[in-house]
């Protein structure tokens, strides 16, 4: 079946459809990572987006349940240069094509995804339609222009847990992804409330690796409910969409600041900023891939980081004397981290859990553990 991509600027791209037959309207974005397509597909931060991968061949290693970052495919659609229909890996359980069809996600191959990426970099993020149901290119363009965009949707409410639960209390999900040096489950020293805005599983594993037991709460949980759980700290997760939309999370975090140590990642970083009264803005084309250089302003150290976000915090709007810029992106100078002057909360815009991506920034989980240790000693 033919696959059609229609962009709001009138561009029409044609390829071959696979996965589910149908169409979706979404924001068009890209990812430059060379590996980790299964983690990308199941990352809730991609809700409401069609993802184009610049790596020229996708599907070689197939699909396995161990590499999923959530319980379903989260992308609205998928776009690749060439689909490998033969998977060759000892962990393979299912082909990519079958996997997308089972999760009812349409996809297109045979499109020059690197040319599309250059277009998005030059002209900025665009609304688009991916269709594999016989839709004409002109109709796809029209529907792309009619789609209201990410800012009109509360995607956090779609992907968040529906009720609170204690994650994997017996440690069954701990081994496997952390490497042989950390396969022995550490002694649990702290319980932390993880506010789920669209959390990736490897974040939970890395919290556990530091002796932290996550108690997951829905994004709409109230502060009093969270505090009643007798937790030692608060974790704010990654997630999808416009960070200005889930105001209910802003309100909850605002009420938790100063009561427990707080650590935020990606959307969680933006939730902390909004709770402090700061603003966010939409980037031209976002930061998406596993090779983004970030500088720690306190040490001068540069880390290569994994990122997936289309918005950034405006550091000029941080409350003076209360919060400061802690990390910057060396490509464009945007905010990549903030911390409270009091030291009781900090956050980063990127993904230190590296799923997929480099492990340069994994030390933030140790820093959070140290912050919890210090707060416990004060009690």
Catalytic residue annotation:
266, 351, 353
Contact 232, 191 (CB under 8 A): yes
Return the exposure string of 52-75: e unless at least 16 CB atoms fall within 10 Å of the residue's CB, then b: bbbbeebbbbbbbeebbbbeebbb
For residues 332 and 65, give the distance between their C-alpha atoms in angstroms, rounded to a whole number: 36
CA distance 85 to 128: 26
Got the DSSP string for 160-172?
Answer: S-SS-EE--TT-T
Looking at residue 63, what DSSP letter applies? B
Q: CB of 223 within 8 A of CB of 330?
A: no
Structure tokens of 236? 């704010």
Give the residue ranges of DSSP H helices in the chain.
37-41, 96-102, 113-123, 137-146, 155-159, 201-209, 223-227, 247-256, 267-275, 363-378
Q: Which residues pair with 337 in a beta bridge?
A: 327, 348
- Residue 250 tokens read as 């802003």
């Amino acid at each position: 079946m033919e696959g059609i991509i229609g962009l709001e600027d009138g561009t029409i791209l044609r390829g071959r459809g696979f996965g589910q037959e149908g169409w979706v309207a979404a924001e068009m974005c890209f990812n430059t990572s060379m590996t980790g397509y299964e983690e990308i597909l199941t990352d809730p931060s991609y809700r409401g987006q069609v993802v184009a991968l610049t790596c020229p061949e996708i599907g070689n290693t197939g699909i396995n349940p161990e590499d999923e970052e959530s319980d379903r495919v989260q992308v609205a659609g998928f776009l690749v240069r060439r689909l490998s229909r033969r998977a060759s890996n000892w962990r393979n359980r299912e082909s990519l094509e079958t996997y997308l069809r089972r999760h009812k996600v349409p996809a297109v191959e045979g499109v020059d995804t690197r040319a599309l990426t250059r277009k998005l970099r030059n002209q900025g993020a665009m609304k688009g339609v991916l269709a594999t149901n016989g839709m004409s290119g002109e109709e796809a363009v029209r529907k792309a222009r009619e789609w209201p965009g990410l800012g009109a949707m509360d995607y956090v409410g779609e992907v968040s847990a529906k009720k609170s639960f204690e994650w994997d209390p017996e440690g069954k999900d701990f081994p496997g992804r952390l490497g042989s040096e950390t396969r022995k489950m550490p002694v649990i020293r702290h319980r932390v409330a993880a506010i789920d805005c669209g959390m990736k599983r490897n974040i939970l594993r890395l919290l556990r690796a530091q002796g932290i037991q996550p108690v997951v709460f829905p994004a709409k949980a109230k502060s009093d409910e969270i505090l009643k759980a007798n937790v030692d700290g608060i974790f704010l997760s990654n997630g999808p969409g416009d960070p200005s939309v889930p105001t209910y999370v802003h309100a909850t975090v605002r009420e938790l600041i100063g009561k427990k140590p707080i650590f935020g990642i990606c959307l969680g970083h933006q939730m902390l900023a909004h709770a402090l009264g700061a603003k966010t803005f939409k980037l031209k084309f976002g930061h998406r891939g596993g090779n983004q250089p970030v500088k720690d302003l306190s040490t001068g150290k540069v880390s290569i980081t994994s990122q997936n976000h289309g918005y950034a915090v405006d550091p000029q709007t941080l409350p003076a004397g209360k919060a400061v810029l802690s990390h910057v992106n060396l490509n464009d100078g945007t905010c990549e981290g903030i911390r409270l002057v009091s030291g009781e909360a900090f956050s980063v815009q990127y993904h230190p859990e590296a799923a997929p991506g480099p492990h340069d920034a994994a030390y933030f989980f140790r820093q959070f553990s140290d912050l919890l240790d210090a707060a416990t000693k004060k009690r």
